[in-house]
Structure formats: structure tokens, C-alpha cells
A = this chain, B = another copy of it.
Amino acid sequence: MSILVVGSVAFDSIETPHGKVDHCLGGAATHFSLAASYFTPVRVIAVVGEDFTAEHEKVMTDRGIDTRGLERAKGLSFHWTGSYVGNLNEAKTLGTDLNVFETFEPKIPDGYKDSEYLFLANIDPVLQARVRSQMPGVKMVCGDTMNYWIADHRENLLKVLRELDVLLINDGEAKMLSGESNLVKAAAKVMEMGPKILVVKHGEYGATAFFCDRSFLGAASVSMPFRAPALPLAEVVDPTGAGDSFAGGFYGYLASQPALTPAVFRTAMFYGGVMGSFAVERFGTERLQSVSRDEIEARFRLFKEISHLE
């Protein structure tokens, strides 16, 4: 079933210990869409500027991503500059040029209205809420956010959280949002804010899903969390978009399945890790554009092999 994703389609200038790229295609919605496109149809809503060419769009349409909701505006696309020199685990933001995103008013094309899965990628919660309210009939809503919105736009963010089935954030964000330093307690508090399931991403250590008693997966999943591994990698070329790629693999797999069961949810967590592990192998979206379904399945088996007793 189709996923509608709203978020940034952007250009990134990135420096890592492996090199430097200037204005490569990036953005949360881009990474998410590419990762999810291997599992299910994806429709994207974002705004781009005049620097976004037909060639950039082709990266998305070549993967079957529906770009009818990609609005063109006068000016330049959103541009992020960051560095991982000295610390591959955390980006140092050197510049954020919102450009066309400053005045973005997301509009949902009629052809998108029957989307059954909604993903609110990391953007201003006001925009997330606006899209959410225009899609009242979706089967499931999943979202992401970041420390900036948690710290300085809390009220707007809380309105979005109330509407979420699943929230995907990292350890630091879960602790910041809840004010709790213990992850289990943090998860309980975050789920009181709305999300029925919280997926906490631990970077190189994998991810943990927490379920509350309002979880929609059935009783079997309620009591215990679930931990998915990450693949130990000798080379991380560019961590940018790893979290969005995790979200794409996770949600893409969920949306591709006929029913939401605990087993399907667990498998989705593994596919999230799989897509995240591919994303970091090259700069920008390069690896996500070219991975094959066979490679995805082989890596899924690898994730199972490195974490299962038998």
C-alpha cells in the first residue's frame, strides 16, 4: 500500500573522514523515499528550488517514487552543510539554509488522497500537523523529529505527537523529549504523549521498539520491547540520512504487508537496520539508488545471522 511522505528534499554539503561532497542530493524525505521504494509505492510532498533539476528528480522517479507532490518554488532548495570530521556518530551542523522551505505550504495532490500510510519526516511540526490534518483517513501515521523541534518548538511538536501511531527518534531525543535519563522510563513518558509505539535508534548499536498498552499489534507485543541489531561496519563513509533510511526500510516493509502483527513489526525493524546500513556506505543517496533487492535480502539474512542463536 502507498506511503505518503512529507519532509525535506534538499542539497547537502558534507565532510567526513572519507572525503567531501558539495550540494549532493539529500533531505529526510529523499532518503526515506528511496529506502522505502524497495518495498512499497511512495509519494512525496516537498518543495524544491530552481537548482533542483530534472536529473535530480530522475533519481526519485527511477525508483518509481511519485513526485507529483514536489512543488517548485522560486529561489534555492533547502541546503544543509555538516561535518562528521572527528566524530562519525554525530553531525556538526555548519549551516542550514531553509531557502524555499521558509514559506512552504504543503498541498496534497488529489492523486495522493488515497494513501494509506503517512510518514511525517523531520520538518517543522507545524507543517507535519498541516499534512496530518489533511489525511484524516490514513491507516497509520509514523513520524520523526529532532532536538531542534524538541527544544524550541515543543508545543507544536506535542500536537503532532498526539496524532502518531509510531514515533522514530534517537536516544538523545527520547531523553530530551521526556526529561528522563533512563531509556525505559523515557519511552513510557513519550508514549504518554501520544505515540502507541516508540522506536529508539541507537546508531551503531541498533534500535529498540517500545510498546504501550494502546499498541495496535495485539497483546503479544505489549509487555516487552524488541531490540534489532545494527551491522558492525568497518567503513562508514557518510552517516547522513542513516536514520531516514532506517525509517524508510522500516515503514516501507510495514506498508507492504497485508496485516500488522508483532512478527511483521519485528521484521520491519530489521529491514530498517538493513537500509540504514546500506545508506552509510556511500556519500549522499548514492548507495540507496543502486542497491538490489537481492542485496537487501542477503543483508537481511546477515542481520538475522549476527543476532539469532540458531
Contacts and interface: CB of A to CB of B under 8 A. Distances in A.
Interface of A: 88, 181-185, 187-188, 202, 204-206, 208, 210, 224-229, 232-236, 263, 266-267, 270, 302, 304-310
A279 B270 CA distance: 29
A229 B202 CA distance: 12
B309 A309 contact: no
A172 to B, nearest CB: 13
A309 B302 CA distance: 13
A225 B229 CA distance: 11
> Interface centre among A182, A183, A226, A227, by most B CB within 10 Å?
A227
Given A88-B182, A225-B232, 11 more contacts: A182-B233, A182-B235, A182-B236, A183-B204, A183-B232, A184-B232, A202-B205, A208-B232, A225-B306, A263-B310, A270-B309
A227 B204 CA distance: 11
A55 to B, nearest CB: 34
Contact of A182 (B227, B234, B307): B234
Contacts of A306: 224-227
B309 A185 contact: no
A237 to B, nearest CB: 12
Contacts of A226: 306-307
Contacts of A205: 202, 205-206
B225 A227 contact: no
Nearest to A307: B227
A236 B302 CA distance: 32
Nearest to A302: B224
19 contacts: A88-B182, A182-B233, A182-B234, A182-B236, A184-B232, A185-B234, A188-B234, A202-B205, A205-B205, A205-B206, A206-B227, A224-B305, A226-B306, A226-B307, A227-B306, A229-B229, A307-B307, A307-B308, A308-B309
A187 B233 CA distance: 11
A224 B7 CA distance: 36
